């Protein structure tokens, strides 16, 4: 059974490879979606990847280049993009700073973010890829030699 969830104060953000991600609502399988605030600097954002859940972004500030299935679109403040589960996608902040509200249809998104908090690239990349795979996120980057 679904329950009512009220968040009166935002939790502290986690640091996901330079992006500050505040997991506003997540980690509870009784909810139909979770919500994040994602803030980053120019050039930031994940490489091409996919996961089984739907994801949507509403750009609050700045500009973000979103690539889905090989097609790139610049999304400015006030813009929205929905990415169906299983779609290969990435985003890159193209303005000096960018802020988005992310909504996903599975708690593994926030769980992944929390699990990689404070890990760094390139030194922690093998661990990040291992954690990602455990949460259903597959990055399309060459796996580093171990």
Confidence of residue 5 (pLDDT cuts 50, 70, 90): confident
Kindly state which CATH superfamily the domain 14-135 is placed in. Jelly Rolls (2.60.120.10)
CB 137 within 8 A of CB 112: yes
pLDDT at 144 over 70: no
Name 33's Cβ contacts closer than 8 Å, sequence gap at least 6: 25, 103, 104, 105
The two tokens of residue 67 are 């690539």
Per the CB < 8 A criterion, the answer to whether 113 and 104 are in contact is no
pLDDT digits 0-9 by tens, 63-95: 999 999 999 999 999 999 999 999 999 999 999
Per-residue pLDDT band for 19 (boundaries 50, 70, 90) equals very high
CB 55 within 8 A of CB 109: yes
pTM, two decimals, is 0.89
């Amino acid at each position: 059974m679904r329950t009512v969830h009220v968040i009166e104060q935002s939790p502290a953000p986690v640091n996901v490879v330079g992006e500050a991600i505040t997991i506003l609502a997540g980690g509870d399988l009784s909810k139909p979606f979770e919500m994040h605030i994602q803030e980053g600097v120019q050039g930031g954002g994940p490489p091409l990847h996919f996961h089984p859940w739907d994801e949507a972004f509403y750009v609050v500030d700045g500009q973000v280049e979103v690539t889905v299935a090989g097609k790139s679109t610049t999304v400015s403040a006030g813009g929205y993009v929905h990415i169906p589960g299983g779609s290969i996608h990435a985003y890159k902040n193209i303005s000096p700073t960018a802020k988005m509200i992310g909504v996903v249809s599975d708690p593994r998104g926030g769980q992944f973010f929390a699990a990689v908090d404070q890990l760094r690239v390139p030194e922690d990349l093998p661990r990040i890829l291992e954690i990602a795979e455990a949460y259903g996120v597959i990055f399309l980057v060459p796996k580093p030699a171990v």
